[in-house]
Amino acid sequence: MAVGGILLVEGHLEFPDKSRHQAHADVHFPTPAEVVADVGLDDGRWEILTQAAHDSVKVIDGQEVHYQDGTMKARRLS
């Protein structure tokens, strides 16, 4: 990625509808902090602009389902 470029990673922190995913209870959803560490964005060449969890809402079968998503946004410095 070029200097000044923006990397945006958005992902679930949990299944939106947990009742449909009981067979996948062992799935790990990485936190924004884990994304930063795992991708190596903490090496001084990136400025972390956003690293946060936030509430999300989805309608499944006519029902509002609340869950957590994570956002990580970084700018390439060098």
Query: CA geometry: angle at 70 spanning 12 and 7, to 5°?
Result: 110
- 39 pLDDT higher than 90: yes
Residue 65: its pLDDT value, please? 86
Length of the chain: 78
The rounded percent of the chain whose pLDDT value lies above 90 is 67
* 31-36 mean pLDDT: 97
Residue with tokens 């470029």: 5
